[in-house]
Amino acid sequence: MKQLYHFVDGRAVPGESDRFSPVYNASTGEQIFELPLATADEVRAVIASSAKAFPGWANTAPSARARVMFRFKDLLEQNMDELSELCSIEHGKVKSDAAGSITRGLEVVEFACGIPQLLKGEFSANVAAGIDLYSMRQPLGVVAGITPFNFPAMVPMWMFPVAIACGNCFILKPSEKDPSLPLRLAELMMEAGAPEGVLNVVNGDKLAVDTLIEDPNVKAVSFVGSTPIANYVYERCAHFGKRVQAMGGAKNHMIVMPDADMEQAVDALMGAGYGSAGERCMAVSVAVPVGQDTADELVARLKPRIEALKVGPSLDPASEMGPLVTAEHLAKVKGYVDLGVQEGADLVVDGRDFRAQGYENGFFMGGCLFDNVTDDMRIYKEEIFGPVLSVVRAPDFDEALRLPTEHEFGNGVAIFTRDGDAARDFTANVEVGMVGINVPIPVPMAFYSFGGWKNSAFGDMNQHGPDGVRFYTRTKTVTSRWPTGIRAGAEFAMPTPGSE
């Protein structure tokens, strides 16, 4: 079996441990690689490589760092076909979807190209006699990113382009389920001119994550993944006094008001519920039609659309939905469908027995639709992360607002309506971090920041955009006076401008 590697000091480094994780082609079910899981010593060697690269990189002019990002962006565009294919094979999302997600990462690279402007400090002349005051943003040092399987390029690119453009050296610990694409991104960064050690990739599991968190040379940790692990990473980093942003799971609701354009709402639910087989942190997994007539019409329209979904191998351009990422995850998602039936929800479309012809070992299931789901059911409370949409019928607007507001997660939410007043009221009062109005997946552009509320995100700063720059830098303020020949003598009172 072919072994993958780590990427350190600008080159592929074979693993030394005797622990491996299998990597699959999700459509065929075949194991394609063995991924070495780093030992603590291997992780420490990677940290040492990054720490060595840091002083030189931090002292490289921001405009020179930006030029690396410009070239990296070009390389992403030139290699888009190959990169999307890598993503599609291991993750299982269809190739067009893979390309779209890489483009969303590329947009963060475009944002990072503006780093000379973004790093500009503040200056106040003459705040007291002969005294100037200014602030500057400085990089932190070695920073680490731990990323999930569902966006093997986009989520790492939420992090490393901004971190590196700010002058840090970045260690990526990608998901062990689809590591080929992150490894390829690191190669492209070298081709773009990033010095050795500025972007290292270490493959591993909990041991690698714990070693990164515990090492004093790692100054900040960015995490994206499931809520229990996000919470763990947040608490451990806090324990070590480390800067941390940790994004977790989600249960995104889409409210359908009686006046919504029903065709638009159904199209939106198909894409947002079943695109990427529901393995998106911004997937819509709960539809909340308001009023029985709206609910009846919505379910009646959704059912034939879900039954007609073209599920097939991820590289087949005719496929609308590919397989899930692993057999284990497939079993978990199907288990949730079994649970929903036991809990008394109505399974309107059952995709559990779907088999893709010629790909019988692939990790496939068809789309599922539950109706009459209630807020005490586990299929409502917990993240399923698969192609399973739950319809929770709400009698009125107040109930539709209450459901996402009181839910444990608060990543994304959408409202479909023609009523500006209802949309405005909803937007102002819903306790969720990212809101869409007639937009099902309200992922902010790269120049805004991405992040949910409640148990969907731990830490104070969000991903990319202005928060990304704040997260990966610290502010230094300098109060400066040059000798003028005026001697005020020793001053024992707290200085104020008037006292100078």
Residues in contact with ligand NAD by the rule CB under 6 A: 146-151, 155, 173, 175-176, 205-206, 209, 224-226, 229, 232, 247-250, 281, 383, 385, 411, 452, 456
Q: Which is nearer to ligand NAD, 25 or 411 (CB)?
A: 411
Tokens of 191: 């081709």
**Shortest reach from residue 399's CB to ligand NAD, in Å:** 25
Q: Which is nearer to ligand NAD, 50 or 455 (CB)?
A: 455
**Shortest reach from residue 63's CB to ligand NAD, in Å:** 31
What does the buried/exposed string (b/e) look like for 318-329 if buried means 16 or more CB atoms within 10 Å of the residue's CB?
ebbbbbbbbeeb
**Shortest reach from residue 212's CB to ligand NAD, in Å:** 9
**Main-chain phi, psi angles of 19, to 5 degrees:** -110, 135
Q: Which is nearer to ligand NAD, 224 or 389 (CB)?
A: 224
CB atoms closer than 10 angstroms to residue 271? 16
Helix (H, G, I), strand (E, B) or coil at 81: helix
Contact 183, 4 (CB under 8 A): yes
- Between CA 275 and CA 282, with CA 278 as vertex, the angle to 5 degrees is 90
Q: Which is nearer to ligand NAD, 273 or 452 (CB)?
A: 452
Contact 441, 416 (CB under 8 A): no
Q: Is 111 exposed, middle or buried (0-12, 13-18, 19+ CB in 10 A)?
A: buried
Alpha-carbon span 398 to 481, nearest angstrom: 60
Helix (H, G, I), strand (E, B) or coil at 373: coil
- Between CA 361 and CA 370, with CA 366 as vertex, the angle to 5 degrees is 140
CB atoms closer than 10 angstroms to residue 470? 18
Alpha-carbon span 39 to 215, nearest angstrom: 14
Q: Which is nearer to ligand NAD, 84 or 411 (CB)?
A: 411
Q: Which residue is nearest to ligand NAD (CB)?
A: 225
Q: In what order do the strands lie in the sheet with 122-128?
A: 122-128, 131-139, 473-481
CA 182 to chain centre: 14
Contact 385, 280 (CB under 8 A): no
**Shortest reach from residue 90's CB to ligand NAD, in Å:** 12
**Shortest reach from residue 118's CB to ligand NAD, in Å:** 22
**Shortest reach from residue 486's CB to ligand NAD, in Å:** 56
Instruction: Name the strand (E) or helix (H) holding 152.
Output: none
Please indicate whether residue 87 is annotated as part of the active site: no
> Which residue in 197, 140, 201, 200 sits closest to 168, CA to CA?
140
**Shortest reach from residue 460's CB to ligand NAD, in Å:** 15
Q: From residue 476, how far is each of 107, 133, 244 by CA, in Å?
A: 29, 11, 19
Q: Which is nearer to ligand NAD, 417 or 462 (CB)?
A: 462
Please tell me the total number of residues recorded for the chain in this structure.
500
Q: Which is nearer to ligand NAD, 266 or 414 (CB)?
A: 414
Q: Which is nearer to ligand NAD, 120 or 239 (CB)?
A: 239
**Shortest reach from residue 175's CB to ligand NAD, in Å:** 5
Contact 329, 386 (CB under 8 A): yes
Q: From residue 400, how far is each of 246, 393, 452, 453 by CA, in Å?
A: 28, 9, 19, 18
In which region does residue 261 sit, left (phi positive, over 0), alpha (psi from -120 to 50) or beta (all else)? Answer: beta
Q: Which is nearer to ligand NAD, 174 or 289 (CB)?
A: 174
Of the candidates 87, 166, 237, 281, the residue annotated as catalytic is 281
CB-facing half-sphere around the CA of 58: CA atoms within 13 A? 19
**Shortest reach from residue 174's CB to ligand NAD, in Å:** 6
Active site residues: 281
